[in-house]
Amino acid sequence: FAQGNSNPAIAQQIAGLTRSFNNNWEQYHESPFLNHSLSLSLGNQKELFGKPLGLIFATSYSRNFSAYSGGEYGIFELTGPVATTDNLTSQLELEENKGADEVLWGAMLSSSYKLSGNHKIGLTLMHNQSGALETRYLEGRKNRDDPDDLFVTRTWAYKQRSLSTGQLRGKHVLSGLNNFEISWQSSYSLSMQDEPDLRYFTMRQRPSGNYIIKLSSDNVPNRFYRNMEQYNFDNKLDFTLPFKQWSGQSSALKFGGAYVVRSREFRENRYTFNNQVFLVENGDPYAYFFDDNLIQATDGGFVKNPQTGNVEGVYVTNSFDPANNYDAQQYVTAAYGMVELPLSRKLRAIVGARMEQTIVRLKTFDTLVALMNFPFLDGEQDLLKETDILPSLNLNYDLTERMKLRLAYTRTLARPTFREVAPFASFDVDGGFLFIGNPNLERTLVDNVDFRWEFYPKPSEMISLSAFYKDFTNPIERTFNPQAPNTVLTFSNVAQASLYGAEVEVRKDLSFLGQFLSDFSLGANFSYVISETDIEADELALIRSLDPEAEGTREMFGQAPWVVNGLLSYKNEGGTQANLSFNMVGPRITVVTRGASPDYYQQPLPLMNFNVSQTFGNGFAVKASANNLLNGKYRETAEYKGEEYSIIQYELGRTFSLGLSYNLSK
């Protein structure tokens, strides 16, 4: 822009580029059509060269609309010592309206060819694609600056995703080698995500009634263009050698390997729209981009306002941020061996181990700030390189024919995702949380111990009791720093965490209550979990500077203290099926705050769904469903001194559906 003041050619180029963007900044309300979906599946078996060839084809299409109003979006922090501070300070309190329109379609073709009784190969091709249009309108108070202003921000987003997969597989049994079995699989998938025009428009309504764009604290209008491509190349080879152990019982030795490559390219372009005059007439973003409000240029350069002598009008600026562009690769090489071995007529053991080597590399396009802080983000050095041995032991003991005991120990791991390690900054609401990855993340190791008692009164019934323990090394958490200049959410490891708990599960038909209930069955399970994470010494010192009585541990990130599920089912010989399901998960941490500010929790959401279907002898079937019958709300909150503060809240709403299907084979 500065060059355009002295160079008419550049001035005309800026004016032309500004006008090249569509003025699609409108938001409006309308009643959508009903949610709807269609699906078709076909299958058959034919002979090819005298051998059986099985084919399955399926395709589906769905379109779903959703909206809510009166949602809440807030940020609160503790600004003083706990002893003398009675309330959290509001940084942001907004009311949200949101609408979404999502289309999903997919197709799948699967084939299986039986070369002989011992040799079979298969090929599966699949493509899924979705497009989601979303608009958001939020208004309220941004109390960290000018709390008397009405803060208004709008979002327009369209996101298209696709996943294409091809999988080739085979299974071969060598009868001459004691039925030695070889299974192999190779798959390639390409996933793409395109956000062609993500738009944000933020402004303030002053007490005078005027609408302005406030440069000192808010962003000017933004348009983002993002594209992500990732391919996965997944290969595995498994061998199984059956044998008889010392007492003649069937056993098996299994071993194999795998090699997985994931590669991602992420690109983002950002354009900002500046102005010398930041008034927004009537608070209308669409009118703000009228042609008369855009910067003007002629052969003589920028056109000036004759009254003020200043260059005025909206003009575009390329705000490309190299830190928001990256390439990433992950390589996983694995090998395993295990043996399934009966130790007696009642005791069976499965013992094995898996070796996994993980290499992660990431290249950022920011050659200044990012590489100064993270010099290993050059695409050549290993951001993460680990070789892990993951043992496992399973013991199954038959107390009786209908009663079993199971004891298991396993070690597993969880790797950080590309998004979690990439130094890429994004936000969902202008003025809200800013999400940034952490290249210093390490993988998580988990040691699991499970003990389970099972009783089967009938083949369709079960009663089980289980106890479990998990120990985590370097678990990953989503953390938040309210004192940061921007409200930054990132990811970090904690050194250690653990949990233990118990679960009870029951599946029972209700015929014992009377013949009239013989078609009913009941299923339920309940888990109770106690989890604990040590707070890092530096963080604990910061917390205790404001809250000297603070404990040195807290619950694990994302771990609920209890989970309850229930299912009441009905099925008769006339083709009628129905079920009523219930699910509820206890409060769990969604964001770990820094300092003494309370952590954010997702509160329990009771979900009750009902489904009923009826089949008819002519091949037709009718199905009806009702979801979220209790009309529960999604809620994230922070609690301080007995008072609850709303972070995120919105209604999910009830949904009702009616479907018709026809089976051609009937």
The answer to whether residue 287 is domain-embedded is: no
The answer to whether residue 550 is domain-embedded is: yes
Mean pLDDT of 496-506: 97
- The CATH number for 478's domain is 2.40.170.20
CA dist 553 to 68, 93, 533, 537, 640, Å? 37, 30, 5, 11, 17
| DSSP-based three-state secondary structure for 11 | helix
Q: Which two tokens stand for residue 207?
A: 């007490």
Q: What angle do CA 243, 247, 251 make, to 5 degrees?
A: 25
Are 189 and 168 in contact by the 8 Å Cβ rule? The answer is: no
The set of residues, in sequence order, having a beta carbon less than 8 Å from that of 13 and lying 6+ positions away, is 4
Which range of 48-52, 294-298, 487-491, 505-509 scores highest in mean pLDDT? It is 505-509
Q: What is the pLDDT of residue 666?
A: 66
Task: Provide the 10 A C-beta neighbour count for residue 529.
Answer: 20
120 pLDDT band (50/70/90 cuts)? very high
Q: What is the pLDDT of residue 460?
A: 87
Concatenated DSSP letters for 498-558?
A: EEEEEEEEEEEESGGG-GGGTTEEEEEEEEEEEEEEEPPHHHHHHHHHH-TT--SEEPPBT
The answer to whether residue 382 is domain-embedded is: no
Q: What is the pLDDT of residues 382-391, one digit of tens each?
A: 999 999 999 9
Distance of CA 606 to the CA centre of its chain: 21
The set of residues, in sequence order, having a beta carbon less than 8 Å from that of 583 and lying 6+ positions away, is 563, 564, 565, 566, 606, 607
278 pLDDT band (50/70/90 cuts)? confident
Q: Which two tokens stand for residue 492?
A: 């970090």
Distance CA 583, CA 565 (A): 5
Mean pLDDT of 81-101: 94
Are 629 and 606 in contact by the 8 Å Cβ rule? The answer is: no
Task: Provide the 10 A C-beta neighbour count for residue 296.
Answer: 19
The answer to whether residue 496 is domain-embedded is: yes
Q: Is 179 left (phi over 0), alpha (psi -120 to 50) or beta?
A: left
Q: What is the pLDDT of residue 425?
A: 87
Alpha helices in 50-164 (DSSP H): none
Examine the pLDDT at 486 and tell me if it is beyond 80.
Answer: no
Distance CA 516, CA 520 (A): 9
Are 126 and 181 in contact by the 8 Å Cβ rule? The answer is: no
Are 24 and 135 in contact by the 8 Å Cβ rule? The answer is: no
Q: What is the pLDDT of residue 311?
A: 82
Could you list the residue range(s) of the whole structural domain that residue 584 is in?
390-607
Are 482 and 77 in contact by the 8 Å Cβ rule? The answer is: yes
Alpha helices in 62-175 (DSSP H): none
pTM score of the predicted model: 0.91
Q: What is the pLDDT of residue 8?
A: 85
Where does residue 431 rank: exposed (0-12), middle (13-18), buried (19+ CB within 10 A)?
Answer: buried
Examine the pLDDT at 58 and tell me if it is beyond 60.
Answer: yes
The set of residues, in sequence order, having a beta carbon less than 8 Å from that of 559 and lying 6+ positions away, is 499, 529, 531, 588, 589
Q: What percent of the chain has pLDDT over 70?
A: 98
Are 136 and 98 in contact by the 8 Å Cβ rule? The answer is: yes
Examine the pLDDT at 484 and tell me if it is beyond 90.
Answer: no
Q: Which two tokens stand for residue 249?
A: 């019982």
Provide the number of structural domains found in the chain.
1
Per residue in 550-564, is it b (16+ CB within 10 Å) or e — as a string?
Answer: eeeebbbbebbbebb
The set of residues, in sequence order, having a beta carbon less than 8 Å from that of 25 and lying 6+ positions away, is 154, 156, 199, 201, 221, 285, 286, 288, 289
Q: What is the pLDDT of residues 304-340, one digit of tens each?
A: 888 777 888 899 999 999 989 999 999 999 999 999 9
Examine the pLDDT at 482 and tell me if it is beyond 60.
Answer: no
Examine the pLDDT at 69 and tell me if it is beyond 90.
Answer: yes
The answer to whether residue 429 is domain-embedded is: yes
Mean pLDDT of 626-632: 95
Q: What is the pLDDT of residues 420-449, one digit of tens each?
A: 999 888 888 877 788 889 999 999 999 999
7 pLDDT band (50/70/90 cuts)? confident
pLDDT: which is higher, 428 or 82: 82
pLDDT: which is higher, 481 or 561: 561
Torsion sign, CA atoms 216, 218, 220, 222: positive
The answer to whether residue 539 is domain-embedded is: yes
CA dist 158 to 20, 55, 198, 366, 612, Å? 19, 36, 7, 27, 35
Q: What is the pLDDT of residue 481?
A: 59
The answer to whether residue 44 is domain-embedded is: no
Distance CA 261, CA 186 (A): 12
3-state secondary structure 249-285: CEEEEEEEEEEEEEEEEEEEEEEEEECCCCECHHHCH
The mean-pLDDT minimum among 215-219, 224-228, 290-294 falls in 215-219
617 pLDDT band (50/70/90 cuts)? confident
The set of residues, in sequence order, having a beta carbon less than 8 Å from that of 253 and lying 6+ positions away, is 240, 241, 243, 337, 338, 339
The set of residues, in sequence order, having a beta carbon less than 8 Å from that of 112 and lying 6+ positions away, is 53, 54, 120, 121, 122
pLDDT: which is higher, 575 or 277: 575
The answer to whether residue 254 is domain-embedded is: no
| DSSP-based three-state secondary structure for 31 | coil
DSSP 84: T
Distance CA 355, CA 392 (A): 11
Beta strand 301-302 with 297-298 is antiparallel
Mean pLDDT of 395-399: 97
Q: What is the pLDDT of residues 32-51, one digit of tens each?
A: 899 999 999 999 999 998 89
Q: What is the pLDDT of residues 175-190, one digit of tens each?
A: 989 999 999 999 999 9
Examine the pLDDT at 483 and tell me if it is beyond 60.
Answer: no
Mean pLDDT of 261-275: 96
Q: What is the pLDDT of residues 129-145, one digit of tens each?
A: 999 999 999 999 988 77
The number of C-alpha atoms within 13 Å of 523 and in the hemisphere containing its C-beta is: 13
Beta strand 119-141 with 476-481 is unpaired
Q: Residue 371 is which amino acid?
A: L
Are 151 and 142 in contact by the 8 Å Cβ rule? The answer is: yes
Nearest by Cα to 411 from 385, 384, 449, 442: 449
Q: What is the pLDDT of residue 369?
A: 66
Question: What mean pLDDT, rounded, does the chain reach?
Answer: 93
94 pLDDT band (50/70/90 cuts)? very high
